[in-house]
Amino acid sequence: MIEILNNFFNGLGAVLAIGPIAGIIAGVCVGIFFGAIPGISAIMAIAIILPLTFYVDPVIGITMLLAVYKAGIYGGSISAILINTPGAAASFLTAQDGHALTKAGKAGKALGMALYASVTGEALATLVLIFVAAPISIISLQAGPIEKVFLLIFAFTVVGSMTGESISRGILSCCIGMLFAMVGMSSITGATRFSFGVPELMSGFTFLPLLIGVLVMPEVIDAIKKRKTPHYDLILEKSPNPDDNRVTWKEYRSVFGTMLKSTGIGTFIGALPGLGSSAAAFLAYGEAKRTSRKPETFGKGSLHGIAAAESANNAVCGSSMIPMLTLSIPGDDVTALLMGAFLIHGITPGPTIFYEHTDVIYAIFAGFLITDIFLLIIARAGFSFWTKVASIQRYYIFPCVTVFAIAGAFTTNQDLYDVLILICFTVFGYGMRLIGLNPAAFIIGFILTPLLEQNLDQAVAIVGKDYGMILASPFAWIFTALSAFSVFSAMRMKKKEKKKVAAPSAPERSAS
Amino acid sequence: MNRRKIDVVFSSILIIASLVILSSDKLVEGGVETDLGSMLLPRIVAVFIIIFSAMIGVPSLLNLIRKTPLRGLEQIDTEGFLGIGIYIAILAAYWLALPHLGFLVATPFAMFGVAILLEGRNWPVMAAVSLVIPLVVDYGSSIFLHVFLPPWTLS
């Protein structure tokens, strides 16, 4: 514990310099800006900023990306509250209560509560990350190649079964990602696979253009598809009663218990691969409503509702880093992207990160907490400004996003072939969405396959011809059981969802 | 658009591709001999792709044959698809033009095209944005990132 604190304060010293602070401020501004625009998510902002961080110190680059992530998640609540259009799926519930308050002339109060809940949730989850990640990494350090193979299979199964529209579509997305990762030269044997004599394919698909193509550009395409829908300006109307424009200390205290509970739920959900911030927000909101004295106010302008949804979905930001940093398993698309950023900066996420890059990792943790402070200051100081900025017409935003994406793809290797990869994967990524395949599962399959192949090769080298030895490890059985359990629970969840969807149609049928 | 038809076609393509991976030895070139070989993992993945593609394709095919009514997600809304086609065409033309016209010349046209596609009609501001952003990106990438975006090569 003392060692963790010691490392943390060293990291704090490293991050309290002009470079990292400037990066955090820029990241917070970019994150709020992109997050607040309906139709643009935090992931788009991170992917666009990512190439800019290639050439700076990892502490500056990664803290900047994390600032974009955190601020982007909060930014999603601005459009949710003001025009009932969530910038991110996780802000759906914030939209219900927040917009009800906006209609009652209390937009300032709703925005304030969303901000305080976001910052509280994020800060507490970051503390959990700081104090839990290193001890977990000590345990995971004991895992050898055999255990890692089963751990990775577990990760594929969980992510595939939890993220897709159906289990088969989720796992298929992951498998396709794995297949794309195997294009090019094998790092184990040096053989060239699936290159079909095309020299450019011999080095495989460049990560960044593929990532931007699959995750970011389909959002631009979606905006183009919906280009006929009218544009709404975000307007922050101030009430003559000052108490309607702010959250009082009494109100904050009254919802603090809800925030704590929701942060706990968000932290737990975030630490599990595949569930993400939307699931956390829905679970926390449901729990807050269930235990509330006035459940009827939820959805009609309840501060508890905003606090629950926002603190839970922001708590996911910190805790979703736990499996990535300790086990090399990104739980969702954003952490997959951040894992890519770590790899680009020469830092391989995994248990050894705490020993090989102690300074960097604790500086990043300290940066996480400092981001919360800047998010609080910057967002609170400029509610009116951010609402104006977020009202910029989409025909100014999306051409810029297109150019940033293309320039970002080009800067990776300074090769126009990467721009072609970007365009091809843009079409592919949009196609995936159309047929219900999951881009996050695809990216996770793409990122983790080289790790799987490497560990599988080492595992076989250890057991020799006695392949039965692979199953001798108790971890093999534990992770196999967990994989089976995750598929089983996903099946149950999907069944329940189907029943829920079918339920309202019964009375409708009887009425007709 | 009926997603079941796409499911059937997509699953069929994936199954055929996976069968090729399972049966062909020409997909790998060179490399050293190991216990596992270079194609073990691709072939394991191919088996899973066949299983899960069949799990998607077969029910869709059966539903198509039985003509059961489409459920929510099985109906793809094609409104706005023309715009998507134009956008992809702009990207492809931009990619072809970049090595010849260079970033600073090709980008304003691409940006302006995308802005018009997005129903933008504020011509002076759109033109200004389309001219200023490429300049800023080109300057920023050359000065700060030391990356030189493609230059004009026609003359």
DSSP states of A218-276: HHHHHHHHTTTSPP-----PPPSSGGGGS--HHHHHHHHHHHHHHHHHHHHHHHSTTTH
Instruction: Please state the rounded mean pLDDT for residues B120-146.
Output: 91
B152 in a structural domain = no
DSSP A342-397: HHHTT---STTHHHHSHHHHHHHHHHHHHHHHHHHHHHHHTHHHHHHHTT--HHHH
A407–B contact, CB cutoff 8 A: yes
Instruction: Please state the rounded mean pLDDT for residues A419-431.
Output: 95
B108–A contact, CB cutoff 8 A: no
Decide: helix, strand or coil at residue B151. Answer: coil
Q: How close A191 comes to chain B (CA, Å)?
A: 4
pLDDT at A336 over 90: no
A206 in a structural domain = yes
List CB contacts of A33: < 8 A, sequence separation 6 or more: A45, A75, A386, A389, A390
> Which pLDDT does position A425 carry in this prediction?
96
If asked whether residues B69 and B117 sit together in one domain, one would say no
* C-alpha to C-alpha distance for B36 and B57, rounded to whole angstroms: 31
Q: How close A442 comes to chain B (CA, Å)?
A: 13
pLDDT at A510 over 50: no
Number of domains in chain A: 1
B135–A contact, CB cutoff 8 A: no
Min mean pLDDT across A182-196, A242-256, A266-280 is at A266-280
List CB contacts of A47: < 8 A, sequence separation 6 or more: A208, A211, A212, A215, A216, A337, A405, A408
Decide: helix, strand or coil at residue B75. Answer: strand
List CB contacts of A94: < 8 A, sequence separation 6 or more: A76, A77, A80, A81, A86, A114, A281, A306, A309, A310
If asked whether residues B67 and B115 sit together in one domain, one would say no
In terms of residue numbers, what domain contains A329?
2-496
If asked whether residues B67 and B86 sit together in one domain, one would say no
Q: What is the band of A87 on the pLDDT scale with cuts at 50, 70, 90?
A: low
Tokens of A490: 């996903």
A465 in a structural domain = yes
Number of domains in chain B: 2
Q: Per residue in A404-421, pLDDT tens?
A: 999 988 988 889 999 999
Closest partner CB to A227 (pick from B3, B83, B112)? B83
Answer with the one of B18, B43, B74 that is the final residue of a domain. Answer: B74
Residue A450, classified by CB atoms within 10 Å of its CB into exposed (0-12), middle (13-18) or buried (19+), is: middle
Q: What is the band of A509 on the pLDDT scale with cuts at 50, 70, 90?
A: very low
B63 in a structural domain = yes
Q: How close A137 comes to chain B (CA, Å)?
A: 28
pLDDT at B32 over 60: yes
A505–B contact, CB cutoff 8 A: no
B149 in a structural domain = no
Best B7, B28, B144 member to test A by mutation, with max A CBs in 10 Å, is: B28
C-alpha separations of A323 from A280, A317, A319, A366 in Å: 16, 12, 8, 19
> Which pLDDT does position A508 carry in this prediction?
45
Q: Which of A336-340, A468-472, B137-141 has the highest mean pLDDT?
A: B137-141
If asked whether residues B109 and B135 sit together in one domain, one would say yes
By C-alpha distance, the chain A residue nearest B11 is: A172
Q: Per residue in A15-73, pLDDT tens?
A: 889 989 999 999 999 888 888 877 677 788 888 888 888 778 888 988 999 999 888 88
> Which pLDDT does position A501 carry in this prediction?
66
In terms of residue numbers, what domain contains B52?
3-74
Contacts of B34 in chain A (CB under 8 A): 188-189, 457
Q: How close A410 comes to chain B (CA, Å)?
A: 8
Residue A435 in contact with residue A166, Cβ under 8 Å? no
Answer with the one of B74, B98, B113 that is the final residue of a domain. Answer: B74
List CB contacts of B21: < 8 A, sequence separation 6 or more: B27, B39, B42, B43, B46
Q: Per residue in A466-507, pLDDT tens?
A: 877 877 888 888 888 888 888 888 788 777 777 776 665 444
If asked whether residues B52 and B87 sit together in one domain, one would say no
A382 in a structural domain = yes
If asked whether residues B10 and B69 sit together in one domain, one would say yes
If asked whether residues B94 and B62 sit together in one domain, one would say no
A429 in a structural domain = yes
* Cross-chain Cβ contact B45/A414 below 8 Å: no
> Which pLDDT does position B63 carry in this prediction?
92
If asked whether residues B60 and B110 sit together in one domain, one would say no
